Amino acid sequence: MIALHGLPFILVEYDGFRRFVASLNPLFKTISRTTIRNDCIKAFEEQKVALQEMFKDAQSRFSLTADMWTSNQTLGYMCITCHYITADWEVKKKVIKFFVVETPHTGIEMFNQVLECIQEWNIEYKLFGITLDNAAANDSMVFELKLNLVDKV
């Protein structure tokens, strides 16, 4: 429920939530926000490994989209989404990386993060394309990616 609805982990420690759960099942043992956080991270890691295995065995190519924005605290964030078609011809997309981009938001810094992501997911030999917006830093990032990936296609 917490992961599905994006609720805060501390929800499990609210008195109202605990009373509600107790009304449904008085024998239910309540847990702390640390436990629920650890459980969510464990589930995430298990799903990540399963998705990496699927990527490894997939016969299709993968396309990436990346978008970067700056928060009102001037922190830069980038999200990388992987798009692919399954063996059953279903179009799928998965967020494979969401991270803070250190300032200054240079093409080299973004390149390092994107290349690390591509390598972590082991898709450098199956990469079809990357779609980005027209930010100036993306031009230098793409230049560096082409230099590092062109021989792997």
Higher pLDDT, 137 or 65: 65
Sign of the C-alpha dihedral computed for residues 144, 134, 94 and 102 taken in this order: positive
Note the pLDDT tens digit of each residue in 95-106: 999 988 877 778
Work out whether strand 62-70 and strand 127-131 pair parallel, antiparallel, or are unpaired: parallel
Spell out the residues 6+ positions from residue 80 whose beta carbon is closer than 8 angstroms to its own.
64, 65, 66, 95, 96, 97, 98, 114, 117
CATH number belonging to domain 58-152: 3.30.420
- pLDDT at position 23 is 96
Looking at residue 152, what is its pLDDT?
58
Residue range 120-147: average pLDDT?
89
Name the residue ranges covered by the structural domains of the chain. Answer: 2-50, 58-152
Phi, psi for 59 (deg, rounded to 5): -95, -10
The CA distance from 109 to 64, in Å, is 18
Q: How remote is the C-alpha of 5 from its chain's centroid?
A: 17
Q: What is the pLDDT of residues 12-62, one digit of tens each?
A: 999 999 999 999 999 999 899 999 999 999 999 999 999 999 999 998 999
Query: Is residue 4 over pLDDT 60?
Result: yes
Least confident of 85-94, 103-112, 120-129: 103-112
Strand partners, 101: 76
pTM comes to: 0.80
